[in-house]
Amino acid sequence: MSATDAAGPAAVPAPPAPPRAPAPDGSPGAGRRTARRRAGRAGQYLALLCYLVFLAFPLLWLVSTAFKSPQELGSVHPTWLPRHPTLDNFRTAFDEQPLLHSALNSLLIAGISAVVSVAVAVPAAYAMVRFRSVVSRAGTGWILVSQMFPLVLVIIPLFMVLKNLHLIDSRLGLGLVYVVWTLPFALWMLQGYVRAVPVSLEEAAAIDGCSRARALRSVVLPLLTPGLVATLMFSFVTAWNEFFFGLVLLKSPEKQTMSVILTHFLGAEGAADLGPLAAASVLATLPSLLFFALLQKRLVGGMMTGAVKG
């Protein structure tokens, strides 16, 4: 039986395929590859878009909630955009709590602790990478172990130490705690970046008569820029978001941080003043976003520099 017989008398010949765009090398296989590559790229973009939407959802929902009226917040069919947008939640949040003052407290404490944490971590990470020994290996292991301690296990001893130093209810005391708390991870992060800097560059500098300290300052540090920025961001955001130490160590209302102030919109058994809480939370995310926006260029620029030099 021929192919025509199998198709039957009613079979209509398929229309001719549309002419393909000529492949760069002119071959039909190359055209298929290009089409497949384009489809793959479109799929990647789609997946990336889905991921971004997934990541952005809480933030977008938070912003939307901040502008909704109490009646809209109580709706069983919530809408993406507030039907009757209102600034009342922001007004109430500012009226009820010292948001601006607490934001300044957080900014000060988180900013200083991030800078100090990175300043301490850089030479330490350098020493741990370049001077390998039993001590440095043990130190690295301890860093990992220290990350496993729950906050509650250290809070009482820490509280007593700070009390003896007269640093309870002190922003300086809380900043010191944040430095200690973020330092292990900052060290861990920076070790990876230091390890990525070729030793040969320092050796070349040494041949040119550079001391080790000068090599660290003039050769290693510029190459560490993306690592420093990333670590700074991590330390800042960790300190900015931290709640429990701030709650326990700061008592005076004028010293409390933003994360502590946010809980003042919560009642017993999960009750919450949702609108003002969302409005205050939106404000609380702004400094972190601004910080990222300002440093992101530096982070990417630094990475590119490293890539070219590498």
Contact between 153 and another protein per CB under 8 A: yes
Phi, psi for 272 (deg, rounded to 5): -150, 145
Tell me which residue of 110, 114, 112, 104 sits closest to 254, measured CA to CA: 104
> Are 267 and 285 in contact, with CB atoms under 8 Å apart?
no
Q: Which stretch binds another protein (CB under 8 A): 154-162, 193-201, 216-224, 228-236?
A: 154-162
Count of residues binding another protein (CB under 8 A)? Answer: 43
Give the amino acid at 239: A
Contact between 15 and another protein per CB under 8 A: no
Member of 60, 156, 165, 286 binding another protein (CB under 8 A)? 156
Contact between 254 and another protein per CB under 8 A: no
Contact between 5 and another protein per CB under 8 A: no
E strands in the chain: none
Bridge partners, 272 (sequence order) = 266
Contact between 62 and another protein per CB under 8 A: no
Contact between 292 and another protein per CB under 8 A: no
| Residue appearing with tokens 């055209």 | 31
Member of 169, 196, 221, 241 binding another protein (CB under 8 A)? 169
Contact between 147 and another protein per CB under 8 A: no
Q: Which stretch binds another protein (CB under 8 A): 48-56, 185-193, 205-213, 269-277?
A: 269-277
Member of 176, 248, 284, 299 binding another protein (CB under 8 A)? 248
Q: What is the Cα–Cα distance from 16 to 273, expressed in whole angstroms?
A: 66
Our CB check for another protein shows the closer of 200 and 252 to be 252
Member of 23, 62, 63, 73 binding another protein (CB under 8 A)? 73
Looking only at Cα atoms, what is the longest distance across the chain?
A: 99
Could you tell me the CA-to-CA distances from 234 to 109, 120, 182, 221 in Å, in that order? 14, 15, 8, 18
Q: HSE (CB half, 13 Å, CA atoms) of 39?
A: 6
To the nearest whole angstrom, how small is the minimum distance from the Cβ of residue 298 to another protein? 36
Contact between 87 and another protein per CB under 8 A: no
Member of 253, 294, 300, 301 binding another protein (CB under 8 A)? 253
Our CB check for another protein shows the closer of 144 and 266 to be 266
Q: What is the Cα–Cα distance from 61 to 152, expressed in whole angstroms?
A: 32
Q: What is the Cα–Cα distance from 155 to 160, expressed in whole angstroms?
A: 9
Dihedral of the alpha carbons of 219, 224, 225, 230, in degrees to the nearest 10 = -170
Sites of contact with another protein (CB under 8 A): 70-71, 73-78, 92, 96, 150, 152-153, 155-157, 159-160, 163-164, 168-169, 243-244, 247-248, 251-253, 256, 260, 263-274
